[in-house]
Structure 1
Amino acid sequence: MSLHVDVPSASISTPRRAWVALAVLVLPVVLIAVDNTVLAFALPSIAEDFRPAATTQLWIVDVYSLVLAALLVTMGSLGDRIGRRRLLMIGASGFAVVSAAAAFAPSAEYLVAARALLGVFGAMLMPSTLSLIRNIFLDASARRLAIALWASCFTAGSALGPIVGGALLQHFHWGAVFLIAVPILLPLLVLAPRLVPESRDPHPGPVDPLSVLLTLTTMLPVVWAIKSAAHDGISWLAVAALLVGIVSGVSFVRRQRRSATPMLDVELFRCAPFTSSILANFLSIVGLIGFIFFVSQHLQLVLGLSPLAAGLVTLPGAVLSMIAGIAVVPVAKRVAPHVLMIVGLILVAAGFVAILLVRHDLDVVAIIASFAILEIGVGMSQTISNDTIVASVPAAKSGAASAVSETAYELGAVVGTATLGTIFTAYYRASVELPGGLTDLQTADARESIGGAASVAGTLPPAMSGRLMDSARTAFDAGIAPTATIAAVLVLLAAAVVAWSFRRAG
């Protein structure tokens, strides 16, 4: 992919101006990452207001990342044609407006629709940032540090989401977690036209509507099938959806291989370091988002912490994630990058093992310690994997490579909730023992999720309420062992694949 710069690079040659531009460009990165996790701490309040089914509750979280991931390649291609900065500005404006509308959603279904639309505008924000940063920082050393800061904002933003959400929920309605997009994006809308040079592909290929459709019909049915099977068991409809996704995926790959100007150059995946780094990127985020989905509810509904206190529990991990993501850059000059990536993945797995070992006494201290270990690993692996993804392909294909990296991140957020989250839900539903005397509606709500049980408990006499919540907490924590084990095994598998692929490439 060639890059045409409409504004001369000399216009942003001073280091100070370049770093200010970087600060502007990481704003949407932080926002997207925060949005992936901020709702986890608002779910109990949303469940109390709307009493959604467990599947609907998961869709409120999932649909945003799913739509965003499905459109990243498409929006990256669109940015090549109309200008990456222009697409960034359109996405920022739309994201701010829809966020304000979502804050006042009248129903769970309305909120799901708003989150889907946020995914559309979020997809406009993401593909532009890395390409623009590469254009601004002409010096290779400064560019590596800038990319490390950019990557660290993903993981730090994901961890900061619960803190921001907890602080807002302590004093305001849950809709406040959406309104934070407005003050974050306003500086971008004001400063980006002045500080960020426009860039576009001078010879882009035509837009391929069928490829766009195939990306959507690949990811949407597959994730829906995973969610449906985990919640309701394997059904013919879930199998059919999975088959539709597989057929669409195969068709997409074939179409890209035949096209002279593909939306995504699938030949990139023949490079083993590239593909293994994508896998590392994906599974580290699966672990992070799955961990936060569980911890946010455990802290509030099992340990009884307020939203703010629960969010602050994640603060040490957020800080350590940012530090690890930046500190690993100079270390990579002395230690092979793939070794650091493997160490990071092992630390992610170690965080889950720590949870597994103390699952019978999972207090705040244990959560802080295990989350800190996991976040250090995520910070390391994300920085190194993103750098490897860009460096392991030809410069002309760096735009496509960065789009794949961002897609892996967002799919990791979806799959982390869809798989690990639904495992918890399945174990909860199989283990919860409800007291007698509940109405049919109360029984259905209490059996759906621990959030539903908490809502029902608030309407019961104290003795019955206590029995219900004791059973709900025990049932919810029954999912710790299998979920932590699955997550740890998957991440260790990714570490093994990285080791094998780099040895083969060497």
Structure 2
Amino acid sequence: MTQTQAAAGRRGSTTADHRPNRVTLIGIGALLVVLTNAVIFILPPLLPVIQAQYGLATVAETTWLYTVLTLGGGAGFILLPRLADLYGDRNANVAAAAFLTVGALVPAVGDSYPTLLVGCSLMGFGGAAQVLPLGFLRRGLGEGGIAVAVGVLVIGTGVGIVAGMIGGGLIVQSLSLQSFFVVLTAVSAVATLASYVLIPHLPPAERSGRIGALGTVWMIAWVAAILLTLTQGLVWGNAALIPLVLGVVGGVAWFRVERRSTTAVFDVALMKAPLVTASCICIALFAAVNSAFLLLVSTYAQIIPEALRPGDAYGLGLTALETGWLMLPFAVTFVIGGAIVDRPVNNGRVVPVFVIGALITAAGLAWLALAHDRQWHYLVGAAVIGLGCSIGYAAGFTLVQLAVREEKAGMATGAAGTCLAVGFAFGTALVSADLSASLVPVPGTTLEVAAESLYGVGYCVAGGLALAIVLTVLISTARTRRRTGRVAA
């Protein structure tokens, strides 16, 4: 029996008596995915408003918003999917949505920079709700649940990214910062209530399991140390090497201990399954490409060429709202890509799917490396990159889910989601370093922006990450064949 057939048989073991309404379950899953991604991507257009309203002296202070958001997300991706396995999908989703609600409420009431940092950390933790539908849709829909769950995740992510960027632009133009957090609190509260009412409260999927407290806290610590380096490395300089070394050493030691643990955070058998580790690495690389592309676009598009000296002038001079609309093709092709890969992945052709997705993404980035000074250049590039990234995400999350029984769906989601968070932070840090390599002054101000040539370099670097995906799956395939050959011999 093939891995896919076996997984299908396991999915069919869920009793039909407990099947919730299909449309309702998909609807609440889509709401959570769109909302959490919109929250993440609504912040970039708001950064100038935040800096001005709270009187922040440097841009470095505003980057702490991303740092605490990312650190909170790292903990949430590790913990919340596992809680869904052990304590029920409804409880985990209600907890995640409640963290989003409280996280938005804190700055809405406090209206200060410290309360905004606290709120972002709470919203980051609750942001793990974006991957929780992988678990409850798989368990709730039975046969075909994995395909639907991955489709909801990929499509909702694309829609949420663009909705967040457009929403951020609208808020900048028409709402105060405090009013925005009041609205976000209300929307998150609705999502919390909907999760409680619409997600069925079934017995926990894994009745006998438990969370290894030491392993979980240890993993959160080393992941947080690495994420801290990636998000604050440019600000701290050489001092950032301290959390990086602690994170790497702590991670290596954690892996060694977890291999012998009876309460491992992630089942060792899962990571040893064919292509699972490679899929997690590919998810991280696609996330890095995604974040790099979005940062390059949003930065270049909003620079006003007339504000720079003639020899340094570049940019499109777009508003935050116009930049959001520029990303619309990205969301459209994200929907298409996520819908076309289910059959080939379930038929065991995941390697060609990864390669095709990576090559499409690399082609879009190569296009933008050569042509990125007109709006239509970005419309074309966004469409191509969105298609490639969605193909890669869908293949990665599907394969990881196929490797486990449905009672461990949350654990598999946590492994993939953690890689997603790390990859996104890595891509952002990489492009931030690139755009800081050479700066030009903005006359009449104390501001500096990246030299125009660095954008082409940034797209080339992102393209290299896409090609690294091809290398990853080819190496993994070769190792699997060698291992299979030794066993057969």
Distance 1:66 1:94, change over 3 A: closer
Q: How does 1:466-485 map to 2 (within 5 A)?
A: 472=449, 475-485=450-460
| Aligned residues of 1:38 and 1:177 also touching (Cα < 8 A) | no
Query: Which residue type is aligned with residue 69 of structure 1?
Result: G
> Residue 276 of structure 2 aligns with which residue?
274
Alpha-carbon distance between aligned partners in 2 of 1:198 and 1:153, rounded to the nearest angstrom: 25
Query: Which residue type is aligned with residue 31 of structure 2?
Result: L
Q: How does 1:344-355 map to 2 (within 5 A)?
A: 344-355=357-368
> Residue 152 of structure 2 aligns with which residue?
149
> Residue 371 of structure 1 aligns with which residue?
382
Distance 1:167 1:109, change over 3 A: same
Alpha-carbon distance between aligned partners in 2 of 1:295 and 1:105, rounded to the nearest angstrom: 32
| Aligned residues of 2:29 and 2:152 also touching (Cα < 8 A) | no
Alpha-carbon distance between aligned partners in 2 of 1:35 and 1:476, rounded to the nearest angstrom: 30
Question: Is residue 314 of structure 1 aligned with residue 327 of structure 2?
Answer: yes
Consecutive unaligned residues in structure 1, runs of 5 or more? 448-471
Distance 1:434 1:311, change over 3 A: closer
| Aligned residues of 1:56 and 1:108 also touching (Cα < 8 A) | no
| Aligned residues of 1:348 and 1:488 also touching (Cα < 8 A) | yes
Q: How does 1:32-111 map to 2 (within 5 A)?
A: 32-50=36-54, 51-103=56-108, 106-111=111-116
CA offsets, 1:215-253, max 9 Å, x none?
A: 2321222232234443453x2x32221121122212322
Q: CA deviation at 1:356?
A: 0.9
Alpha-carbon distance between aligned partners in 2 of 1:66 and 1:176, rounded to the nearest angstrom: 26
Query: Which residue type is aligned with residue 194 of structure 2?
Result: V
> Residue 313 of structure 2 aligns with which residue?
none
The TM-score with structure 2 as length reference comes to 0.84
> Residue 296 of structure 1 aligns with which residue?
298
Q: CA deviation at 1:85?
A: 0.9
Q: CA deviation at 1:127?
A: 5.6
Count of aligned pairs between the two proteins:
458
> Residue 439 of structure 2 aligns with which residue?
431
Query: Which residue type is aligned with residue 169 of structure 2?
Result: G
CA offsets, 1:374-419, max 9 Å, x none?
A: 1111111111111111123455644322211112222222222222
| Aligned residues of 1:160 and 1:314 also touching (Cα < 8 A) | no
Distance 1:393 1:132, change over 3 A: closer
> Residue 501 of structure 1 aligns with which residue?
476
Distance 1:148 1:194, change over 3 A: closer
> Residue 12 of structure 1 aligns with which residue?
19
CA offsets, 1:132-180, max 9 Å, x none?
A: 111111223x542343223322233223321222233232124555434
| Aligned residues of 1:223 and 1:418 also touching (Cα < 8 A) | no
CA offsets, 1:252-295, max 9 Å, x none?
A: 22332222121222443333411111122111111112221232
> Residue 216 of structure 2 aligns with which residue?
212
> Residue 405 of structure 1 aligns with which residue?
416
Alpha-carbon distance between aligned partners in 2 of 1:131 and 1:143, rounded to the nearest angstrom: 9
> Residue 386 of structure 1 aligns with which residue?
397
> Residue 487 of structure 2 aligns with which residue?
none
SS at 2:259 equivalent: helix
SS at 1:417 equivalent: helix
Q: How does 1:72-221 map to 2 (within 5 A)?
A: 72-103=77-108, 106-123=111-128, 125-126=129-130, 128-140=132-144, 143-175=146-178, 178=181, 179-180=183-184, 182-183=186-187, 186-187=190-191, 189-190=193-194, 192-221=196-225
Alpha-carbon distance between aligned partners in 2 of 1:338 and 1:154, rounded to the nearest angstrom: 23
Consecutive unaligned residues in structure 2, runs of 5 or more? 1-9, 305-315, 482-489
Alpha-carbon distance between aligned partners in 2 of 1:293 and 1:62, rounded to the nearest angstrom: 15
Q: CA deviation at 1:334?
A: 7.5
| Aligned residues of 1:38 and 1:161 also touching (Cα < 8 A) | yes
Query: Which residue type is aligned with residue 193 of structure 1?
Result: V
Distance 1:120 1:317, change over 3 A: closer
Percent identical residues = 21
CA RMSD across the alignment: 2.9
> Residue 488 of structure 1 aligns with which residue?
463
> Residue 456 of structure 1 aligns with which residue?
none
> Residue 325 of structure 1 aligns with which residue?
338
